[in-house]
Structure 1
């Protein structure tokens, strides 16, 4: 299981820890991932995703999972989230 947010695409960042004497040591910044269950109002069911805390706040800000998926870009979504998005868009079209 990769350390990548399924909704925002946020992943591990790498760089250097720089000491006072300017010695550079490799380090990693891990995203704050949480296993959450999000409810889809249009489909009437819930989905489990591994989501970053920042993306979870964005889902709440946009008005729920359905609004977030419709507004988000397909390139950043995981394959599971993309399938849910296609179901939501099809349900909204009917």
Structure 2
């Protein structure tokens, strides 16, 4: 399983540990990923995603999963999130 947020695409970054003597060793900055269950108002179902804590705040700020996915770009979404986005769009046009 890759360490990548399914909704925002946030992934592992690399950098250096820098000691007091200015020695540099490589390190990894991991995203703060959490397993969450988000509910879709349009579909009336819940979906499980592995997302970053910062993305969870963004989902709440935009007004829920449906609103977040409507504004999200397709290239950063995972396959599962893209499938949910298409289902929501399909349901919204049918109603």
With normalisation by structure 1, the TM-score equals 0.98
With normalisation by structure 2, the TM-score equals 0.97
Secondary structure in structure 2 of the residue aligned to 1:74: coil
Whole-angstrom CA distance in 1 between matches of 2:27 and 2:89 = 40
Q: Which residue of 1 aligns with 2:87?
A: 87
Whether 1:50 and 2:63 are equivalent positions in the alignment is: no
Whole-angstrom CA distance in 2 between matches of 1:85 and 1:93 = 12
- 1:43-75: CA deviation from partner (whole Å, max 9, x where unpaired): 010000001000000000000000000100001
The 10-residue stretch of structure 1 (16-25 or 75-84) with the greater mean CA deviation from structure 2:
16-25
Number of aligned residue pairs = 94
Provide the aligned C-alpha RMSD in A. 0.6
- 1:5-34: CA deviation from partner (whole Å, max 9, x where unpaired): 000000111011111111110101110000
Q: Which residue of 2 aligns with 1:71?
A: 71
Unaligned runs of 5+ residues in structure 1 are none
Whole-angstrom CA distance in 1 between matches of 2:25 and 2:80 = 36
| Deviation >6 Å, runs of 4+ | none
Q: Which residue of 1 aligns with 2:21?
A: 21
Whole-angstrom CA distance in 2 between matches of 1:93 and 1:22 = 59
Unaligned runs of 5+ residues in structure 2 are none
